[in-house]
Structure 1
């Protein structure tokens, strides 16, 4: 029986669970669905759509080596997916559709609708665990519930991984040729303009590049990861998040690379390796939260009581934050990095998120949406989890009384202003002390073409603390 591989966020041939299962079951055809209406609903960034298309072009060549045709179909949104797949299966006499599981309320509803429609037509639908190390619902507390605290979740994950590591699947052997031609991959999709060549150059497509970047990071940079990961002026992080989000590389491949370079130890050995493995488990944790607490993928706070916070309606402040014009250099440099590269250093994601949700007291959902509209590595679980952590509305979140001071954070993690000078050329002549807080210049400040601070830090801190204290008093 012929098989259909429905590709989604799994754009690779190595260690692709659904691809391996489909090819083991019979002659396989692959399909990718272009759904621009759905992408707009989900706030997917144009640079991310471009990244998908570029990786699809490379993937089409890799699949051709396996004699697997790659078809491309266009449907506006997920409501049309059941009919599109059903038609494809009838046209090519495909008996089973294979997918790697995706997580989130809309994703689950889509797949349930597809399975129901295909079942009525006598077509099988097989779901495979791929973008996680453990199936959601399989990592439980002693009482059988979903973990709400990362440290406890991590402890159970470590115990299970020490017992048995998930294996990486090799590239399947080529199948006999199928007389179905592959479709061309479009360069662009209407409504999603191509990003700059500079941005594209930062993120080359293809799993070969992703695996090479992983190898270089694991061999050369992993040992220093704990010390360098918070310094935005240095290339101290793996920068693999776009490849993980698109499934160009798998979490299993990342875990094995880290373990190989840490002598097989999960929670011992090199601190850099241990810290990076924990970052992989944070991604895992947030996807488990999506399944265990569906409301977080529906625009709701994990901590229900925080829905009563008196968020400010301040469109001018929001726009200043979005465009990097707040008057706080570390915030502005980070936001400009995002707009130019489609990516932001993780420490800066926390600083900018706290600044918006705490110092400006603007609803974290505005920030979550803006990040998704601009991030090349936009991922619902990781983005939502990070924003709710920073805003003190989520699971295992930072205590509400902990607010990052953007000036002291800048002085600590960019002491010489290297990162600030890269993204704020108007401040390039300032000395290492003044560059973190140009407001210190007093009368000389007017000679610098840089906006004044849009908020008083002590006042904004007290305003945020009072808002959260009021929640406790009301309850």
Structure 2
């Protein structure tokens, strides 16, 4: 056998074996040359900590890496899990590995984030045989452009062009490669992240595995996608897909999701009246934000898309920020959402907008503080979506909501949790309040203050839940003045 004919498939944010072009290409290469496929996964805890990856997401990844090893063993491929600290440690390790195992090509998926792209460029500069494939998005970044050949800066025309291009293609996920006879299932591995993650956070409330993810996808499309537009904003109802954790680490691919939609709704890409339209648009938002990361690398480096964002004079009151983090703002809808995040590692999408608007506009705390806190808690942490959502809420992003749109938390509360069942679950302190007081907590605070002398003990008990941290009308006026820095012209 000629030298340098073995190959590597490097798993990244794509811990699956179905619809995995890099794995399929590696198997084809090995069959052609009668050679070996080596599978690698790098654990980089220091890098993860620097990127604010949540401990619960690392636990979720660990579970899936072990399942990936079992799945690969069934098709005759051994997965080697390598623990290093940072991306910088990968090049020397890979160079030695390639020399030792006669590696002729390394197949891996392109990633949209800036540090990851820098890492890959450095590997190529070091003459490592890295072959990158676009499998992160359904349509590769840079393939959806306006008439000037540039990236769209507004979602609606991007979505229209995306659908047109997607409709012209065959969207068929790849199956699991048939490679060789099964090998022994490897022993479970455990990531050693204690130096950077001293507290482990279990992800057991989320089912693991490709089969579980595909089952959830199928059930959602069969039973809920047609009602998604109606129920997606109601946090007390299980009306969302709950697929974001699987998409974030690549247990599911965007192609699998779109193909599943088209199986049940074949005209979804061309019919604006399709029942699948609203959820399909969520997938397109995901692609939009990932395309933006590639087109505008500054987004990965904590910079506002709108350069005027640097003119905003954020208040950045740390005590108020901590109250927000802990779900102690005195606004039950905000606090319920933050407690859901802290207790489960996930937050309902409508509430992500509510709490982000509250932090950036009511408290005038820099969106980057909120983005970082979210990333440190979320099981579905994803730089593109997280950055895009936070900048959208703050008014600094691409196609963002205008700076003068300030969500009224009381209106959001009464509209989207009308019976307060979601709030009462996460903020039991207000469970015996009237609905009016739950949705308009300033009225309750006024009542407590006026009755304190007569019912002092009761008042102290009620005050275990804080009064609103800021009055809405005042906060809105202040936000308009400060965020006016974003006004163009």
Structure 2 SS opposite 1:201: coil
Per-residue CA deviations over 1:183-219 (Å, capped at 9, x if unaligned) read 742155223256555xx23212111110111011010
Q: Report how far residue 270 of structure 1 moved.
A: 5.8
Identify the residue that residue 278 of structure 1 maps to in structure 2: 281
Select the residue among 395, 399, 404 that pairs with 1:396: 399
Is 1:469 aligned with 2:461?
no
Select the residue among 311, 314, 320 that pairs with 2:314: 311
Q: Report how far residue 264 of structure 1 moved.
A: 3.3
Counterparts of 1:393 and 1:71 in 2: how far apart (Å)? 42
Contact preservation (8 Å) 1:329, 1:435: yes
Per-residue CA deviations over 1:11-38 (Å, capped at 9, x if unaligned) read 0001011111111111211111111110
Select the residue among 126, 135, 140 that pairs with 1:130: 135
Contact preservation (8 Å) 1:390, 1:398: yes
Q: Report how far residue 145 of structure 1 moved.
A: 1.2
- Shifted more, 169-178 versus 82-91: the winner is 169-178
- Gap runs ≥5 in structure 1: none
Is 1:354 aligned with 2:357?
yes
Is 1:298 aligned with 2:313?
no
Identify the residue that residue 32 of structure 1 maps to in structure 2: 41
Structure 2 SS opposite 1:410: helix
Identify the residue that residue 162 of structure 1 maps to in structure 2: 167
Counterparts in 2 of 1:268 and 1:336: CA distance versus 1, 3 Å: same
Q: Report how far residue 124 of structure 1 moved.
A: 2.0
Identify the residue that residue 376 of structure 2 maps to in structure 1: 373
Counterparts of 1:51 and 1:430 in 2: how far apart (Å)? 38
Identify the residue that residue 435 of structure 1 maps to in structure 2: 438
Counterparts of 2:98 and 2:81 in 1: how far apart (Å)? 14
Contact preservation (8 Å) 1:47, 1:374: yes
Contact preservation (8 Å) 1:188, 1:194: no
Give the superposed CA RMSD.
Answer: 1.8
Identify the residue that residue 180 of structure 2 maps to in structure 1: 175
Q: Aligned pair count?
A: 467
Contact preservation (8 Å) 2:354, 2:409: yes
- Gap runs ≥5 in structure 2: 31-35, 450-458
Counterparts of 1:29 and 1:181 in 2: how far apart (Å)? 15
Structure 1 SS opposite 2:204: helix
Select the residue among 92, 102, 113 that pairs with 2:111: 102
Counterparts in 2 of 1:10 and 1:435: CA distance versus 1, 3 Å: same
Identify the residue that residue 210 of structure 1 maps to in structure 2: 213
Counterparts of 1:299 and 1:269 in 2: how far apart (Å)? 35
Contact preservation (8 Å) 1:53, 1:188: no
Is 1:56 aligned with 2:62?
no
Select the residue among 5, 16, 20 that pairs with 1:16: 20
Contact preservation (8 Å) 2:325, 2:338: yes
Q: Where in structure 2 are the equivalents of 1:392-431 lying within 5 Å? A: 392-431=395-434
Q: Report how far residue 280 of structure 1 moved.
A: 0.2
- Greater CA radius of gyration, 1 or 2? 2
Counterparts of 1:362 and 1:269 in 2: how far apart (Å)? 38
Counterparts of 1:104 and 1:431 in 2: how far apart (Å)? 47
Counterparts of 1:356 and 1:86 in 2: how far apart (Å)? 46
Identify the residue that residue 44 of structure 1 maps to in structure 2: 53
